[in-house]
Amino acid sequence: MGGTIVTEQPPSGAQPEYPGEPSQPTPDAYAGYPGARNLDPNDPLVAADYGGWWARGTALARKTWKHVLILQIAFVVLELILITPVHIWQASLAVVPGSIAPGQNPNDVLLAQSLGRQVGPILLSLVAGVLTQVIAAIIGLVVVHLMVMAATNEQLDIGVAFQRASRRLGIIVLWSVIFGLLATIGFVLCVLPGFYVALVGMLLAPVVAFERGNPLGQAFTLYNRNFGLALGLTLTVVACGLVAGIVAGCFGGALTIGSAVTGSTGAYILSAVITVLISAVLTAAVQLLTYPLTTVAYATLRARLEPLSTAQLATEIAR
């Protein structure tokens, strides 16, 4: 009776609570999200949640910022060429204290600078605005290709990305103008609809790059069927741009006040040009981050509607 007592150890792994019952599977953390099941946690473009979206966006920004910076420098130069003449023209027509002669009625000066004198600057501003939007849309499409190249560990090359994006240039130009018109109409009729269209329009470049069909309907479907998440992601991107806008506005306000104090039209024109430059540079800097965030936002939102992976996106964008 002095033998060793051997106790049987249960096998490793999850065991049924009662004999004969199957083991309980591990709960799916994404079961509440349509189409978001079985996501690869290491997928570089498709995120499971807000934190994953931000992490992937910033990771892509670190890999692509040098190439995106080159595109942004080109955009800033083109924007200055288009926008600066408008601001110079408008500034030359502006009333500054030194432009009103002693004894002259300021109301008479304002009346002289009536709508008739402003028609030219207004029309030029509209043309410059449309061209700037089109250029920004083209650069956005090229950047999406760069993001996919980075996500698939392909060597980054702006020339190759532009060549690949050229297949969809006509589409992105057309729909960027349409989205711009819709947003403008929305802002004129009521600010909120215009702002909503502008948020949806942030997904335009990825939609055009990856999908085929009507980009307008696809972008709105993608946004509306994930409205809560889409709103959070796009508002975060807008907030990044808003910071740059506030800083540029502060500089511009200070320069405008300084030119008004001097009473010099030349100083007023110079302050307008410097303000445009500061705004363009800060906006370009912020977009080194917002471009990757927008691309990952598209992939993350779409993954809630259908199974999706970076490999699939790379196949689609190559079509």
Tell me, yes or no, if the pTM score tops 0.85. Answer: no
Q: What is the pLDDT of residues 260-271, one digit of tens each?
A: 556 566 666 777
pLDDT for residue 52 is more than 50: yes
pLDDT for residue 193 is more than 70: yes
Query: CA–CA separation, 319 vs 208, rounded Å?
Result: 12
Q: What is the pLDDT of residues 229-241, one digit of tens each?
A: 999 999 999 998 8
- pLDDT value of residue 117: 59
Percent of the chain scored above 70 by pLDDT? 72
The answer to whether the CB of 284 falls within 8 A of the CB of 76 is yes
Specify the higher pLDDT residue, 186 or 174.
174
pLDDT for residue 274 is more than 90: no
187-223 per-residue burial string, b: 16 or more CB within 10 A, e: under 16? eeeeeeebebbbbbbbbbbbbbbbbeeebbebbbebb
- pLDDT value of residue 124: 79
HSE-up of 219 (CA within 13 Å, CB side)?
25
Q: What is the mean pLDDT of residues 170-179?
A: 93
Helices (H), 6-157: 50-93, 106-112, 115-151
- pLDDT value of residue 297: 96
The answer to whether the CB of 222 falls within 8 A of the CB of 301 is yes
If we measure between CA atoms, which residue out of 159, 151, 200, 139 comes closest to residue 315?
151
- pLDDT value of residue 15: 44
Query: CA–CA separation, 220 vs 214, rounded Å?
Result: 10
pLDDT for residue 16 is more than 60: no
Mean pLDDT, the chain, integer: 80
pLDDT for residue 139 is more than 50: yes
Q: What is the mean pLDDT of residues 117-135?
A: 80
Q: Both tokens of residue 249?
A: 């506005």
Q: Both tokens of residue 304?
A: 């809630």
- pLDDT value of residue 161: 96
Q: 169-189 and 191-201 are packed helices; what angle lies between their axes, rounded to 10 degrees?
A: 160
- Count Cβ atoms below 10 Å from residue 313 Cβ, excluding itself: 26
Residue 26 has what DSSP assignment? P
The answer to whether the CB of 198 falls within 8 A of the CB of 183 is yes
Query: CA–CA separation, 123 vs 212, rounded Å?
Result: 34
Specify the higher pLDDT residue, 250 or 257.
250
pLDDT for residue 171 is more than 90: yes
Provide the terminal-to-terminal Cα distance of the chain, rounded to the nearest Å: 79
